[in-house]
Amino acid sequence: MHTSWNFATCWELLADAQPERPALLQGERSRTWREWDDNAARLAGAFGRLGLSEGGKVASYLYNSIEYLEGVFATWKCRAAPVNVNYRYLEDELAYLLENSDTEILLFHGVLGEHVAQVHDRIPTLRAIVQVEDGSPLVDGALRYEDLLMGEPAARVEKSGDDLYILYTGGTTGMPKGVIWRNDDLFLALVPTVLTMNGEAVPDGPEAFPGIAARVAEAGNAPVHLPASPLMHGTGFMTSLQAATVGGAVVTLESAHFDAHELWRAVERHRVTQMAIVGDAFGKPMVRALEEAAQRGTPYDLSSLRLVISSGVMWSAEVKEGLMAHGSFVCIDSLGSSEGAGFATQVSVPGTKATTAKFSVGEHTRVLTEDGREVEPGSDERGLLALGGPIPLGYYKDSTKTDATFRTFGGRRYSIPGDWARVAADGTIELLGRGSVSINTGGEKVFPEEVEEAVKLHPAVLDAVVVGVPDEKWGEAVTAVVALREGEHAEPAVIAETVHEHLAGFKRPKHVVLVDTVVRGPNGKADYAWAAQVARDRLSG
């Protein structure tokens, strides 16, 4: 019989078994496992008294923090569903997400309170807003997070693998959509990987995890994990779940915005063993910070760091090699999305040649044509990445989108988010990009990520986003929006020619638009809507 897995059940057992081990660390602040469990229980008690229903939603409009993970633990203790909120959202976006998700309780950092104050009375399902202290004035009607920790803790209840986590994803088109994960599916998508890395098999039940954590710690492998990317996005959150469930600690940075020097100082201070980033948007400033420290004669101590994990966007070979030049850690490029974990991986180790966008597929991954036929290796045919195994239930309150993304072929249900790939003769895959942002130029399909990587091969280019702009002759013209390195100069035609040296002629940008800074989300992902608007405005001008 299949065991029903629940993260909160495992964490409660771990808290009982290793109460004094560190669980959550942020600057001077910390929580032991006992304190994490106790605070989460007190929050859960408060949520219950506020009328949170079983299966109700608790949204976190929070920066990375100890409180973020306490709130998630408390929500699962109530058998309710945590919901992520992008901390860059303003009033309209915030109101949409809270209403769409049927949120009952909202946790928010005080610095974001001006947005909460404008919308909270417009959300019919909202029972309470809870403000996390950061020196900001208390929003009218808000409860203090710290006051809720003074109340009676909730008694432990039996939880289920059917208890939910709802991960809102901005995607590339339309409004954000909530991906519905059962605890059971999320657990089986994430935890077997970290168990295998530690020589452990998936046990028969949650009661085995204290023993697993003890063996992992005894071997000196208890993870100290730093999600450099936001916990509100899948990469940072899911890797933190993995680390916690084998008894590790999660380190969060104190700044609201990414600072690579703060990151490396935290690695030194907390003896971080692994971290999660999102591609070059994090990796490039991390390399620069390491180089600056070395030039000052005060290099950072990275001796504790063993693993850097990236997921969500392209991570270039150049940046991986730049990082590994400063330490003896492994770089794992994990191909995943909000709709599925473990599509494929690419592992780079120090002293070897790294690659870009070339992956080994996971056991549940296939590359399928649009009618469900499996692509033959070495055929040069393009197909869509499809993930079987433990996958989400679908999108919250969106059956049309669910049916389009979660499809059944040959009696097997797959998650097919829209990533195109080719399959090499050796079975590895080359990732081409997401179909929803592909460019149709003269009848040819061009994937922006592929062109972006080629543009960034020009030595003067710091960052680039590629979009299509309307064109009478081609339908859409491939257009690169490019930021140059400080003090560098490059002619647009020369940048475009760099692409032609590496890719087919129809992928060469027809236009190169130079900007001071390429705008990306806090998760490092390209803002294609911004880039398209900038390109249209500049070219029409």
DSSP letter string over 395-456?
ETT-HHHHHHHEEEETTEEEE--SEEEEE-TTS-EEEEEEGGG-EEETTEEE-HHHHHHHHT
pLDDT tens digits, one per residue of 262-294: 999 999 999 999 999 988 889 989 999 999 999
Q: What is the mean pLDDT of residues 240-254?
A: 98
- What's the pLDDT tens digit per position in 168-220? 986 544 578 999 999 999 999 999 999 999 999 999 999 999 999 999 999 99
By the 8 A CB rule, do 127 and 105 touch?
A: yes
Q: List, in order, residues 6 or more apart from 536 with CB less than 8 Å away.
A: 469, 470
pLDDT grade, residue 538 (50/70/90)?
Answer: very high
Q: Which domains, from first to last, does the chain contain?
A: 7-183 (3.40.50.980), 362-433 (2.30.38.10), 438-540 (3.30.300.30)
d(CA 478, CA 462): 19
Q: Flag whether pLDDT at 66 surpasses 70.
A: yes
Q: Which percentage of the chain shows pLDDT scores above 70?
A: 98
Per-residue pLDDT, 533: 93
- pLDDT at position 540: 87
- What is the dihedral sign for C-alpha 62, 66, 67, 69? positive
Taking each helix axis from N to C terminus, what angle separates 7-17 and 234-245, rounded to the nearest 10 degrees?
Answer: 40
Cα separation, 9 vs 147, whole angstroms:
25
pLDDT score, position 172: 46
Angle, helices 260-270/279-296, rounded to nearest 10 degrees: 70
pLDDT at 2 over 80: no
What is the C-alpha separation between 460 and 468, in angstroms, rounded?
23
pLDDT for 174: 58
pLDDT tops 60 at residue 365:
yes
Asked whether the predicted pLDDT for residue 35 surpasses 80, the reply is: yes
What residues does 226 pair with on adjacent strands? 275
Q: Which residue has the higher pLDDT, 476 or 305?
A: 305
Nearest in space to 174 (alpha carbons), one of 93, 273, 229, 66: 93
Q: What is the mean pLDDT of residues 68-81?
A: 98
Q: Look up residue 133 and give its DSSP letter.
A: P
Do the strands 57-61 and 103-109 form a parallel or antiparallel pair, or are they unpaired? Answer: parallel
With a threshold of 0.95, does the pTM exceed it?
Answer: no
Residue 202 makes CB contacts below 8 A (sequence gap 6+) with 188, 191, 192, 195
pLDDT per residue as tens digits for the range 128-146:
999 999 999 999 999 999 9
Q: Is the pLDDT of residue 443 over 70?
A: no
Read off the tokens for 439.
């460019």
The pLDDT assigned to 119 comes to 96
Confidence (pLDDT) at 14: 98
The C-alpha angle 64, 317, 504, rounded to 5 degrees, equals 120
Asked whether the predicted pLDDT for residue 384 surpasses 90, the reply is: yes
Q: What is the pLDDT of residues 17-33, one digit of tens each?
A: 999 999 999 999 999 99
Rounded to whole angstroms, the Cα distance separating 27 from 252 reads 8
Summarised one tens digit per residue, pLDDT across range 300-324 is 999 999 999 998 777 888 999 999 9
Q: Give, in order, the Cα–Cα distances in Å from 273 to each of 18, 133, 452.
A: 19, 29, 31
Whether 308 and 287 have beta carbons less than 8 Å apart is answered as no
At 469, list the tokens.
């702009």
Cβ–Cβ < 8 Å for 324, 244? no
pLDDT of 88 above 60: yes
Q: What is the mean pLDDT of the chain?
A: 93
